[in-house]
Amino acid sequence: MVEEQGGSLPEVRARVRASHGITDLARKLRFYDRWAPDYDQDVATLQYRAPSLAVDYLAQALKGPPGAALVLDVACGTGLVAAELQARGFIQLHGVDGSPGMLEQAQARRLYQSLSLCTLGQEPLPSPEGTFDAVLMVGALSDGQVPCSALPELLRVTKAGGLVCLTTRTNPSNLSYKETLEAEMARLEQSGAWERLMAQPVDHWELATAKHELPPDAANDSDGFISGIVYLYRKQPATLGDGGKEA
Q: What is the pLDDT of residue 238?
A: 74
pTM exceeds 0.85, yes or no: yes
Q: What is the mean pLDDT of residues 132-141?
A: 97
Which residues, other chains included, contact 144 with Cβ-Cβ below 8 Å and sequence gap of 6+? 22, 23, 24, 25, 27, 28
Q: Write the pLDDT tens digit of every residue in 13-50.
A: 999 888 888 888 889 999 999 999 999 999 999 999 99
- Helix, strand and coil content of the chain, in percent to the nearest 5, comes to 40, 25, 35
Cβ-based neighbour number of residue 212 at 10 Å = 10
Q: Write the pLDDT tens digit of every residue in 174-232.
A: 999 999 999 999 999 999 999 999 999 999 999 998 888 887 766 555 568 999 999 99
> Which of these ranges, 7-16, 27-36, 54-63, has the smallest mean pLDDT?
7-16
3 — pLDDT class (breaks 50, 70, 90): very low
Which of these, 33, 28, 27, 35, lies nearest to 11 by C-alpha position?
A: 35
Looking at 3.20.20.10, 3.40.50.1440, 3.50.40.10, 3.40.50.150, the CATH number of the domain 9-213+223-235 comes to 3.40.50.150
Cβ-based neighbour number of residue 22 at 10 Å = 17
Residue type, 165: C
